């Protein structure tokens, strides 16, 4: 079997552990409104979520009408349509508001053993990339989490990274994987030398397999072959002491 020369990671529930929403989320939401807009609005977190969900459905339906089956929305646009008052905010302030709002729907932290695995991959010369259904705030979330492990987003190769919000479509669209496969081939890395690591078979492993990549399904509980947590992935890649296989 060819050695693993490149690994493409999913983000949520793979690199980042996704937990429950903060218990004081609604209070923090009211404070965020005051800090950003100078006053509170009569809009709860749940009501805003429902407004956004309706807008996303509209956008997805419109995109499907144009033949795009796995479209991605632009979240700042969605938020401004849900809360028109946000349209008056400068771009940087709006981005920070959206980031802070996202932290109220769930808690995030780096997966156990993630930092040591990524560091070892870099030291071993394995190229790292990302294929994530994400928004701009995802990059900030990942950067914050990586900083705790004394790592930076720059460990992921820019040309081997696919963020859905930058492209207007998302996994499991086969073009996500075809684009990255072509970029890997341009670096001289064959499909059989590429490993996709993600938590979902439908979004990650099956479409990756269609372009010839190998797959590792992330699970915090399973230790089956080609399935397990990041610590077991490290054993798969390096064995007790050896190089990636």
| Residue 31 in this model has a pLDDT that exceeds 90 | yes
> DSSP of 71-87, one letter per residue?
B---HHHHHHHHSGGGG
- Give the CA distances from residue 218 to residues 65, 117, 125, 198, 233, in Å, rounded to whole numbers and listed in that order: 34, 13, 22, 5, 9
Contact (Cβ atoms closer than 8 angstroms) between residue 199 and residue 219: yes
Can you give the pLDDT at residue 224? 62
pLDDT category, 227, cuts 50, 70, 90? confident
User: Over the stretch 84-100, which tens digit does the pLDDT of each residue have?
Assistant: 999 999 999 999 999 99
> DSSP of 159-210, one letter per residue?
EEEEEHHHHTB-TT-HHHHHHHHHHHHHTT--GGGEEEEES-IIIIIHHHHH
Average pLDDT rounded to a whole number, residues 129-148: 98
Average pLDDT rounded to a whole number, residues 143-158: 97
Structure tokens given for 108: 């995030």
User: Over the stretch 159-215, which tens digit does the pLDDT of each residue have?
Assistant: 999 999 999 999 999 999 999 999 999 999 999 999 999 999 999 999 999 999 999
Structure tokens given for 169: 């479509």
| Residue 243 in this model has a pLDDT that exceeds 70 | no
- Tokens 């790592």 belong to which residue? 151
- Full-model pTM: 0.94
Query: Cα 45 vs. chain centroid, distance in angstroms?
Result: 22
Residue 68: count other Cβ atoms within 10 Å of its Cβ: 15
Contact (Cβ atoms closer than 8 angstroms) between residue 30 and residue 40: yes
Contact (Cβ atoms closer than 8 angstroms) between residue 32 and residue 79: no
Question: How does the average pLDDT of the chain come out, rounded?
Answer: 94
Average pLDDT rounded to a whole number, residues 69-87: 97
Residues pairing with 197 in the sheet: 9, 216
| Residue 241 in this model has a pLDDT that exceeds 70 | no
pLDDT category, 240, cuts 50, 70, 90? low
Can you give the pLDDT at residue 39? 82
């Amino acid at each position: 079997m060819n050695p693993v020369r490149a690994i493409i990671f999913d983000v949520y529930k793979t690199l980042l552990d996704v937990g429950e929403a903060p218990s004081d989320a609604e209070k923090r939401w009211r404070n965020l409104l005051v800090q950003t807009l100078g006053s509170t609005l009569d809009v709860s977190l749940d009501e805003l979520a429902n407004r956004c969900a309706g807008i996303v459905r509209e956008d997805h339906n419109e995109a499907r009408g144009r033949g795009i089956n796995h479209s991605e929305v632009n979240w700042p646009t969605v938020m401004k349509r849900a809360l028109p008052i946000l349209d008056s905010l400068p771009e940087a302030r709006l981005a920070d508001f959206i980031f802070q709002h996202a932290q109220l729907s769930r808690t995030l932290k780096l997966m156990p053993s993630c930092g040591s695995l990524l560091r070892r991959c870099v030291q071993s010369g394995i190229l790292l990339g990302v294929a994530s259904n994400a928004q701009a705030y995802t990059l900030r979330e990942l950067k914050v989490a990586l900083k705790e492990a004394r790592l930076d987003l720059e460990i992921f190769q820019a040309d081997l990274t696919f963020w859905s919000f930058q492209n207007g479509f998302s996994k499991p669209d086969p073009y996500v994987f075809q684009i990255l496969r072509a970029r890997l081939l341009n670096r001289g890395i064959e499909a059989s030398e590429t490993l996709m690591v993600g938590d979902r078979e439908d979004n990650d492993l099956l479409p990756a397999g269609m372009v010839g990549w190998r797959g590792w399904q992330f699970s915090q509980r399973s230790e089956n072959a080609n399935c397990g947590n990041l610590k077991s992935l490290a054993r798969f890649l390096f064995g007790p002491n050896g190089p990636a296989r």
